[in-house]
Amino acid sequence: MMNVLDAVFAEKKKNVLNIYCTAGFPLMESTTEVMLALQDAGADIIELGIPYSDPVADGPIIQQSNMQALQNGITLTKIFEQLTQIKNRLHIPVVLMGYINPVLQYGMENFCKDAAACGVSGIILPDLPMYEFEKYYASIFKKYKLNCIFLISPSTSKERMKKADALSGGFLYAVSSSTTTGTQNSSENKINYFKKLAAAKFKNPLLIGFGIQDKTGFEEACQYASGAIIGSAFIQHISTAKNVQKAVKEFVHTIRPIEQ
């Protein structure tokens, strides 16, 4: 059987919408509700954030959601329980995004085993160096049929981009500009960089993320890649919502209007 992530890109070469949500946010029990609503509203992939006390790649909005989720009492164990609850109802691929330390404390083998058991397709760990992955963890990922997804940015060298592409599976994650999540670095020539990405012959489909906030940003990124990832703008939108399900659908429909 084809990996569900690969299946998404096999079926749909363009405009793949990946939405990032923080597990346990806004409430501890929101995880499953938000994910199911994302699926209903038409998201293609869900990137589920594992909250961490020190998320250095993240801007203020996702930092805040991480802190809130930790205060709510979220843990990796709880996240796997929540994913198990909706395993039979969630059919779009789930990619876990987190920082390496909570994963190491859980144990890499246990983490991969439990992630795979509840249907997760890929893992993004921005502070896991590629050589450590190759040396210590690649075989574990392989054993549990999990893709590891690496990030590239405007300051990544050509050789390193190649290496990130070679080690990644499912898709390759291109950071939209030199930035933490939630903003774009306006001092760079974004379109030149996007063109360079589009011209690079990566083996993986490319998703562009960080600082993509709305339909315009999404469509712009989609001109140069297979799709895009939206995080902070989504988190911002649902953070104060009274009806979380409704807010999730509202947001997704602003990016991708309901087909008539």
Partner 1 sequence: MKMLGATVVPATSGSKTLKDATNEAIRDWINHPQNTHYIIGSVVGPHPYPDMVARLQSVISKEIKAQLKKHTGKLLPTHVIACVGGGSNAAGAFYHFIKEKKVSLVAVEAAGCGLQSGKSAATTQLGSTGVLHGSKSLLMQTADGQVVEPHSISAGLDYPGIGPLHANLFKTGRASFDSSTDDEAVKAAMNLCKKEGIIPALESAHALAQLNKMKFKKTDRVVVNLSGRGDKDLATYMKFL
Shortest reach from residue 153's CB to partner 1, in Å = 8
Name the catalytic one among 40, 44, 47, 132: 47
Let me know the angle formed at the C-alpha of 213 by 207 and 215, rounded to the nearest 5 degrees. Answer: 80
Continuous segment of H or E residues that includes residue 158? helix 158-167
- Work out which of 11, 40, 89, 104 binds partner 1, going by CB under 8 A: 104
Nearer to partner 1, 100 or 200 (CB): 100
Among 3, 72, 75, 245, binds partner 1 (CB under 8 A): 75
Q: Does 196 bind partner 1 (CB under 8 A)?
A: no
- Binding positions for partner 1, 1-40, rule CB under 8 A: none
To partner 1, the closest distance from the beta carbon of 185 in angstroms equals 6
Q: Give percent helix, percent strand, percent coil of the chain, each to the nearest 5.
A: 45, 15, 40
Instruction: State the DSSP string of 189-215.
Output: -HHHHHHHHHHS--SS-EEEESS--SH
How near is the Cβ of 130 to partner 1 at its closest, in Å? Answer: 13
Stretch that binds partner 1, among 28-36, 38-46, 67-75, 88-96 (CB under 8 A): 67-75
Q: What part of residues 120-179 is at the interface with partner 1 (CB under 8 A)?
A: 127, 155, 178-179
Residue 30 token pair: 């929101």
Whole-number minimum distance, CB 5 to partner 1, in Å? 26
Nearest CB to partner 1, comparing residues 52 and 251: 52
CB of 88 to partner 1, least distance (A): 27
Q: Which is nearer to partner 1, 116 or 151 (CB)?
A: 151
Amino acid at 93: P
Size of the site for partner 1 (CB under 8 A): 29
- Shortest distance in whole angstroms from residue 116 CB to partner 1: 20
* Cα–Cα distance for residue pair 27/200, rounded to 1 Å: 41
DSSP letters spanning 64-125: HHHHHHHHTT--HHHHHHHHHHTTTT--S-EEEE--HHHHHHH-HHHHHHHHHHTT--EEE-
The verdict on 52 binding partner 1 (CB under 8 A) reads yes
CA torsion 177→171→15→41, rounded to 10°?
-100
- Pairing between β-strand 147-148 and β-strand 122-124 as defined by DSSP bridges: parallel
The three-class DSSP label of residue 251 is helix
Examine the residue annotation and report whether 220 is marked as an active-site residue of this protein: no
132 as an active site residue: the answer is no
Query: Structure tokens of 4?
Result: 């569900």
Kindly tell me which residue out of 15, 32, 183, 245 binds partner 1, with binding defined by CB under 8 A. 183
For residue 92, how many other CB atoms are within 10 A of its CB?
19
Residues forming the active site: 47, 58
* Residue ranges in contact with partner 1 by CB under 8 A: 52-54, 56-57, 59-60, 63, 67, 70, 75-76, 99-106, 127, 155, 178-180, 183, 185, 187-188
